[in-house]
Structure 1
Amino acid sequence: MAIEIKAPAFPESVADGTVATWYKKPGEAVKRDELIVDIETDKVVMEVLAEADGVLVEIIANEGDTVLSSQLLGKLDENATASAAPAAAEAAPAAAEQPAQASGDAILSPAARKIAADNNLDPQSIPGTGKDGRVTKEDAVAASSKPAAPAKAAAPAVASLEVVGARTEKRVPMTRLRAKVAERLVEAQSNMAMLTTFNEVNMKPIMDLRKKYKDLFEKTHNGVRLGFMSFFVKAAAEALKRQPGVNASIDGKDIVYHGYQDIGVAVSSDRGLVVPVLRNAEFMNLAEIEGSIADFGRKARDGKLTIEDMTGGTFTISNGGVFGSLLSTPIVNPPQTAILGMHKIQERPMAVNGEVVILPMMYLALSYDHRLIDGKEAVTFLVTMKDLLEDPARLLLDI
């Protein structure tokens, strides 16, 4: 019985996808719930699993093809187990040329096997993140990008072949995620009256609080670490309540005021910038925020973020300080109308009560759509955040 393999049902925010990697070839056996093919959208990579045991008999959409929601990708025959024999026969000569795979050997997808062979990688040295420890195409790409271990005998010969000052170039297609990010950034700058206002915050109170309670916090909340981002999310949620225009969006000629604070936290991944959303952040405590952000970070690294994780959002926080940025003007993520930029904590001499004191300071930047948000609202928003962060007890007392 033939079973149709279809692309996942895309939400309204995703128009189409691209066939990224087929993990099986026609004639190969497939187990139920085994990963067959990856579909890359402009937000996430979606996995298509086998509905039943059988054999992949036909691939209709090849790697690189653009597909629509629920489009037919291929066919699986659950009664055609015998058709896997030719594939096994073809593999026999190759098996004679190399040692048989032991039960503890790494399992590589076809795409990963090709990348490993092209880059002379040892399959056993590649950590697998796929189902049952399978080494995926992304695992092989990540391993090939790491500096190779020094060769024992061939290293001098290889080094002698390098041309000093060679002007090399490498052309690779832009991923759908990178292309979509580029499109949205250009759109934001073209269609918004974007302006950025700045302030600075003394981080010493939060740093002292964190130093005092971080061990107890981690022990109490089952390993969740106390970072700085949770304080900024809580302060932003409170400031958004007081300045609802910063939490609003423009829809045509209408202004949509959101009665909730869904705060997106920009996360850098190998595929580009992604913005998972903390929903109803105003009701989350510090531990819930830190735990959710850590979970988002793991998902981003493993390519496991879902479309639901990144859909929506009424406001965004971007922390360029983790990369050493001292000051920047972040670009608003439409249809939102504002974004907060955090930066590096830098010790600077500050005047306090007529004396010069060295304090850990951070610049804050709020980029906003001037069509909706006036300068007074933007400045008041930043001042509110500054007051809450420099006296974190106010976050707990709601004052």
Structure 2
Amino acid sequence: MAIEIKIPSVGESVQEAVLAEWFKQDGDTVRKDEPLFVIETDKVTLEVVAEADGVLKIGVQAGETVAIGTVVGSLEPVDASAVPEKKPEAEAEPPAEKPAQPEKTPAPAAPPKPSAPSTPADGIPLAPSVRRLIAEKHLDVSKIKGTGPGGRISKGDVLLYLENAPAGIPEEDPAMPTAVGDMPPAAMEERKPMTPIRKRIAERLLESKQNTAMLTTFNEIDMARSMEIRSQYKEAFSKRHGINLGFMSFFVKACVEALKEVPEINAFIDGNDIIYHNYQHIGVAVGTERGLVVPVIRHAERLSFAGVEKAIVDYVTKIKENRLELADLEGGTFTVSNGGVYGSLLSTPILNMPQSGILGMHKIEKRPVVVDDEIVIRPMMYVALSYDHRIVDGKGAVTFLKRVKEFVENPERMTLEV
């Protein structure tokens, strides 16, 4: 009996999704738990796996928008012997007589560019973003070692391969036009529909600008002490907790302490009421191929530095593997965004409604500053707090940012609670 393949529910508020891409072709034999396709909603991107072994019959093509629960295909039963098994590397080697065959075939005048197949030689599928990068760079996927679950190739694996490749990044295809004047008119522009996530991001940003009295205040932080502590305890921290110590945990912990002192920044406006929260659910903005997502670290006030770092790494892993759930994005009371990882020196972050505050971190840059009446070189970071002026006064915003500065410049204060 055939097994129906349906669009899964990802939350009560999500009624439809875009079937972004099939990882398999119609008629392919698949194994249980093997990724079949990826869906995009206005909030999350999710991979759907096979519930059992079978032969895939596709009913809805990629790119279609379908309702939650829609049947998009089926898995026809198949004999166990027909399901391909992953062969050991020793058995996958070609027979001894194979190498002699190329000698009978004349060598081509120029070696062709390697193609980017949808799956590596071992049959493990590639995520859409990985496949696009491989195609853009004309890479031979069989030469890239996958470090993901089941040996899957991640985008990080491709970037690492490009970085370590002896010849560097492959040259562009000479057949491609090198100047705008060489391009046909149809190739000079490209029109693509906005993805559900991108449309939702646009709607929420516009809503935030139109429905809040948003204001931004700035400060700068001397990162020397945090950098010193991080360098001093980085190795011991990694050995004990199995995770690296980053600067995000310093800022999340600093924000937690500052929010306790300025509770209106941790509050929401609901009609004519203000809802104050006696907990800190901190959203951490993460950039992805499809747009910005903000998973929430729940009860950050209860977590150690290691707990915060582990939560962030877990979310990044889920995002890379398209396993982020709608529940991971809900309930945040404050957001931290780090534009510094992209090289941003200064920016004004936009509120993540209905939250009343968002902290923007930026690039650490050595600058001359005055310390004890002397000009010295210090690693400085600009920080920006955008807040809803309807609920947060200037005094509260400046106090909050000043406290964050004090905690990050002297991390011991967070431990001593002073």
TM-score, normalised on structure 2?
0.77
CA displacement 1:339-377 (0-9 Å, x = unmatched): 001112233333333333332222211001111111121
- Aligned residue identity for 1:337: S
Distance 2:39 2:69 in 1: 11
CA displacement 1:73-93 (0-9 Å, x = unmatched): 223333699999xxxxxxxxx
Distance 1:353 1:52, change over 3 A: closer
Structure-2 residue corresponding to 1:348: 367
Task: Please say if residues 128 and 139 of structure 1, whose CA atoms lie closer than 8 Å, have aligned partners that are also in contact.
Answer: no
Structure 1: give runs of 5+ residues left out of the alignment. Answer: 85-98
Percent identical: 50
Structure-1 residue corresponding to 2:231: 211
Task: Please say if residues 108 and 123 of structure 1, whose CA atoms lie closer than 8 Å, have aligned partners that are also in contact.
Answer: no
Instruction: Give the C-alpha shift of residue 162 in structure 1.
Output: 3.8
Distance 1:209 1:139 in 2: 28
Instruction: Give the C-alpha shift of residue 10 in structure 1.
Output: 2.3
Structure-2 residue corresponding to 1:338: 357
- Aligned residue identity for 1:38: V
Task: Please say if residues 348 and 361 of structure 1, whose CA atoms lie closer than 8 Å, have aligned partners that are also in contact.
Answer: yes
Higher deviation after alignment, 298-307 or 194-203: 298-307
Structure 2: give runs of 5+ residues left out of the alignment. Answer: 84-100, 102-119
The counterpart of 1:105, out of the listed 121, 127, 135, is 121
Task: Please say if residues 16 and 68 of structure 2, whose CA atoms lie closer than 8 Å, have aligned partners that are also in contact.
Answer: yes
Structure-1 residue corresponding to 2:170: 149
Task: Please say if residues 55 and 83 of structure 1, whose CA atoms lie closer than 8 Å, have aligned partners that are also in contact.
Answer: no
The counterpart of 2:210, out of the listed 176, 190, 210, is 190
Distance 1:114 1:389 in 2: 40
Instruction: Give the C-alpha shift of residue 225 in structure 1.
Output: 1.8
Matched, 1:227 2:246: yes
Matched, 1:43 2:63: no
Distance 1:32 1:228, change over 3 A: closer
CA displacement 1:207-256 (0-9 Å, x = unmatched): 2222322222222322x222211111101001111111111112333322
- Aligned residue identity for 1:70: G
- Partner SS for 1:5: strand
Instruction: Give the C-alpha shift of residue 119 in structure 1.
Output: 8.4
CA displacement 1:119-161 (0-9 Å, x = unmatched): 865342455578744679x899999x9986248xxx7xx2696
Structure-2 residue corresponding to 1:124: 142
Higher deviation after alignment, 190-199 or 203-212: 203-212
Distance 1:7 1:162, change over 3 A: same
Matched, 1:292 2:291: no
Distance 1:118 1:210 in 2: 38
Matched, 1:272 2:291: yes
Task: Please say if residues 338 and 366 of structure 1, whose CA atoms lie closer than 8 Å, have aligned partners that are also in contact.
Answer: yes
Structure-1 residue corresponding to 2:331: 312
Distance 1:340 1:280 in 2: 18
Matched, 1:380 2:379: no
- Following superposition of structure 1 onto structure 2, how do residues 148-167 of structure 1 map, counting pairs within 5 Å? 149-150=170-171, 158=174, 162-163=178-179, 165-166=181-182
CA displacement 1:30-84 (0-9 Å, x = unmatched): 3332322221122322222222333334x33321121222222223333699999
Distance 2:138 2:178 in 1: 18
Instruction: Give the C-alpha shift of residue 106 in structure 1.
Output: 3.6
Structure-2 residue corresponding to 1:27: 27
Distance 1:255 1:164 in 2: 55
Matched, 1:67 2:66: yes
- Aligned residue identity for 1:149: P
Structure-2 residue corresponding to 1:391: 410
Distance 1:302 1:126, change over 3 A: farther
CA displacement 1:12-42 (0-9 Å, x = unmatched): 3433210112233443333332322221122
Distance 2:126 2:245 in 1: 42
- Partner SS for 1:76: strand
Task: Please say if residues 177 and 272 of structure 1, whose CA atoms lie closer than 8 Å, have aligned partners that are also in contact.
Answer: yes
Task: Please say if residues 17 and 67 of structure 2, whose CA atoms lie closer than 8 Å, have aligned partners that are also in contact.
Answer: yes
- Partner SS for 1:234: helix
Matched, 1:366 2:353: no
Structure-2 residue corresponding to 1:92: none
Distance 1:233 1:251, change over 3 A: same
Distance 2:175 2:216 in 1: 50
Distance 1:254 1:247 in 2: 14
- Partner SS for 1:181: helix
Task: Please say if residues 107 and 135 of structure 1, whose CA atoms lie closer than 8 Å, have aligned partners that are also in contact.
Answer: no
- Aligned residue identity for 1:10: V
- Partner SS for 1:74: strand
Structure-1 residue corresponding to 2:194: 174
Q: Report the RMSD for the aligned CA atoms in angstroms.
A: 3.6
- Partner SS for 1:294: helix
Task: Please say if residues 18 and 39 of structure 2, whose CA atoms lie closer than 8 Å, have aligned partners that are also in contact.
Answer: yes
Structure-1 residue corresponding to 2:77: 78
- Aligned residue identity for 1:71: T
Higher deviation after alignment, 72-81 or 380-389: 72-81
Higher deviation after alignment, 276-285 or 293-302: 293-302
Higher deviation after alignment, 333-342 or 164-173: 164-173
- Partner SS for 2:386: strand
Distance 1:33 1:10 in 2: 18
Distance 1:79 1:160 in 2: 44
